Amino acid sequence: MAKLMRLDKYLAEMNKGSRTQIKDAAKKGRIQVNGAVEKKTERKIDPDTDEVSFDGTPVRYRAMEYIMLYKPQGVISATEDKRHKTVIDLLTGENRSDLFPVGRLDIDTEGLLLLTNDGDLTHRLLAPGKHVDKVYFARIAGTLPDTAVEQMAAGLTLNDGTPVMPGKLEILKQWTGQTRQKALEQFSADAETADSAEANAGAEILLTIQEGKFHQVKRMFEALGCHVVFLKRLSMGRLKLDPDLKPGEYRALTEGELELLQK
């Protein structure tokens, strides 16, 4: 038997407003339960069997929700912020009111971000002891040392003395001696960056790490004498960013994807 819950709690969790707003809507006859107008929001209902409508539109209850978001640059990984747009602000339509991002991506980093209200799954994905791989694609300005792969594999010490766990670095391509115009095209950089010596050498890489320290990927490459100019997260555990999603777009996880995260 399903656990009964108050009608106002049901609707608040399904993002239909605060309990005060829902109570006011009920007084105006905007809420129906099983086809009949319901004005008592303290009424207990069965979320599995009772049919609830708000302004004539069915409201289906989802105890847990899992959303894959392609986080764009310029948006912060938070539930609310007074200065910047958040990843929650990107959501439209029917979503729970208690969603939060699993971990964070810097404001200028894009790529895969999972939004959910499942605290247990979040812990499994973020706890350092769980050793969950996170794969990033990056463009680097500067010349990587010949021992970069080995240094990453051994575990770096960041410039401030912070040690980090070993990472797997794969160098996709490297270049040196580019013209100023080529550097501008490669990095979409400003003139000052393109004029620098570092802008004339760079690399595209994949980096797999299992931690999520503040600005970690950027700081790891700074420890190697380079600078990250573009960063995108491609995967988290077995969950990979849907290539059909564009920055700012999102979708619910499939049952198969959810099963991958549970393993």
User: Which residues make Cβ contacts (< 8 Å) with residue 187, sequence separation at least 6?
Assistant: 139, 141, 193, 194, 199, 202, 229, 230
| pLDDT at 144 (0 to 100) | 95
| Token representation of residue 135 | 């794969």
Domains and CATH numbers, the chain: 5-58 (3.10.290.10), 66-128+238-262 (3.30.70.580), 133-236 (3.30.70.1560)
| pLDDT at 129 (0 to 100) | 80
CB atoms within 10 A of CB 250: 19
Residue-level pLDDT, tens digit, the chain, 263 residues: 468 989 999 998 888 888 999 999 999 999 999 999 999 999 999 988 999 999 999 988 888 999 999 999 999 999 999 999 999 999 987 788 899 999 999 999 999 999 999 999 999 898 878 889 999 999 999 999 999 999 999 999 999 999 999 999 999 999 886 544 565 566 555 545 444 544 579 999 999 999 988 899 999 999 999 999 999 999 999 999 999 999 999 999 999 999 988 87
Q: Which of 220, 222, 227, 218 is nearest to 194 (CA)?
A: 227
Interaxial angle between packed helices 255-262 and 119-126, expressed in degrees from 0 to 180 and rounded to the nearest 10: 60
| pLDDT at 55 (0 to 100) | 93
Q: Kindly list the catalytic residues.
A: 106
| Region at 128 (left for phi over 0; alpha for psi -120 to 50; beta for the rest) | alpha
| pLDDT at 97 (0 to 100) | 86
| pLDDT at 159 (0 to 100) | 96
| pLDDT at 212 (0 to 100) | 86
